[in-house]
């Protein structure tokens, strides 16, 4: 929660903004799991997203599913 709020931007976008951006995108879940684990930059601005390589694939998928469901 140091980088993302549920509904508000902290450093990165709020999780609900992420859900809104990818609503209806059937490939979003698998792409975001990779992004969470490998990190990246450019999708939401110049601040890089740090990689989370120690997060298991299953935990990353659960986190992404929660975000895409509106972070409720």
Q: Which domains are seen in the chain, by residue range?
A: 15-68 (1.10.760.10)
Q: What percent of the chain has pLDDT over 90?
A: 83
pLDDT of residue 52: 96
Residue 58: the pLDDT is: 98
Whole-model pTM: value is: 0.91
| Low-confidence stretches of the chain (pLDDT beneath 70) | none
Taking the C-alpha atoms of residue 55 and residue 35, their distance in angstroms, rounded to an integer, is 12
DSSP category for residue 72: -
CB neighbours (10 Å) of residue 22? Answer: 17
Residues 6+ apart with CB under 8 A from 48: 39, 40, 41
């Amino acid at each position: 929660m140091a980088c993302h709020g549920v509904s508000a931007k902290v450093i990165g976008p709020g999780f609900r903004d992420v859900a809104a951006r990818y609503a209806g995108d059937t490939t979003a879940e698998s792409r975001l799991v990779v992004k969470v684990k490998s990190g990246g930059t450019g999708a939401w601005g110049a601040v890089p997203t740090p990689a989370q390589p120690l997060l298991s694939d299953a935990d990353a998928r659960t986190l992404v599913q929660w975000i895409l469901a509106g972070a409720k």
